[in-house]
Amino acid sequence: MTTILLQRAIIFIGAALISLFIAEYAIRFTQPELNPNSQIRFQPATKTKPVLGPPNTSLRQIKNTGDYNVLIKFNESGFRDKKNIAEAKPNDFVLVGDSFTFGWGVQEKSRITEQLEAIIRRPVFNISIPTGFDGYDRLLDYAKQRGAKLKRVIIAASMETDLHLYQEEDKKIIGAKEQKPRGNWLMPVKGFLATHSALYALSTTLIHRTPLLKSIATKLGIIIPNLEGIRKYEFSQAVINSSAQRLKHIAEKYDTTILVIPSRALWHGNFIKIENRRHQAFVQRLNALKLDVLDLKPIMERNKNPLSLHFKNDPHWLASGHKLAAQALANHLRKRYGDL
């Protein structure tokens, strides 16, 4: 009896796997935009190169909630920019940052760099890639290796993702604990499936766009509502100091402006007071290090509803967020430089 049950279980599992395999490739064939091979991806860092996009490649960036579906084009250097970074001159501007300034979810023409360039009428190169401060340093070095003459650099610091203990000596300080965000434990699994399975992409799209299924998935904890998934940190002065010092180390190589991108935790949830303290302490530390800083927090708050500048189901800026940041940056740069 046990042998028969085992045989049936093996047959059932085998049939299920074959069915999933057929469904996976049927979806890839009938809906090529969901094929993971056509979805946005990045090449991991090596000893000689930072994280980059696949050179000379066009990929799709699709949100299963329907927030965006855009074409991402990487140039010969692996950057999302129509301009060649090798042509950057000392009086041009080069912006480096993470997924925010990369333009996650928006058309290239709607990004902060393209809108800034239209305002100041000066080339603005974008070498942003989803990474952190150490990655930004490597991206700038890589740009110079490609032939860029870097002088005027803008570094975007994202309060939701960029602050860490960067120096080894900081990690050894008693009580200096890394800020660990509170998040969904399923994220690594979701991330893997999102980049490897068209069946997963189609299934999650159907769930997100079917109210009943979305409600059930949310109650089960499979879907975390966007605003509930904001990264929340406890306050750590050690992390503030370490992150600011890492930025200073990068900034002092160039004529640098630091663009501070606020966390959405400033305006939603139970960590508002902590995030305000964290944000203020970081900006104060940057100023104490005599860095040129543009803090977007007060500028975004003039909008009265800062969260409206972000996608409904994604942490990144809408085109309106990029526009506001570009105008603020243009005003700041015009005050700093007399030739704009």
Q: Which two tokens stand for residue 164?
A: 């860490």
Q: By C-alpha distance, which of 272, 186, 183 is closest to 228?
A: 183
In a domain, 36, yes or no: no
* Least trusted range by pLDDT, from 72-81, 186-195, 281-290: 186-195
Same domain, 207 and 278: no
Whether residues 162 and 22 share a domain: the answer is: no
Distance CA 306, CA 297 (A): 9
Residues 244 and 308 in one domain: yes
Is the confidence at residue 160, as pLDDT, over 80?
yes
- Angle between helices 198-208 and 211-219 in degrees, nearest 10: 100
Looking at the domain assignment, is residue 206 inside a domain? yes
User: Which neighbouring-strand residues pair with 122?
Assistant: none
Residue 100's pLDDT is 97
171: confidence class by pLDDT, cuts 50, 70, 90: low
The C-alpha angle 217, 222, 224, rounded to 5 degrees, equals 95
What angle do the packed helices 198-208 and 187-194 form, to 10 degrees?
120
Q: 179 falls in which pLDDT band (50, 70, 90)?
A: low
Task: Look at residue 122 in the predicted model and tell me its pLDDT.
Answer: 95
What pLDDT digit, counting tens, does each position of 213-253 carry?
A: 788 877 777 777 777 888 888 899 999 999 999 999 999 99
**C-alpha to C-alpha distance for 187 and 274, rounded to whole angstroms:** 24
Q: Are residues 154 and 136 in the same domain?
A: yes
The rounded mean pLDDT for the chain is 89
Domain that holds residue 135: 79-180+231-336
278 inside domain: yes
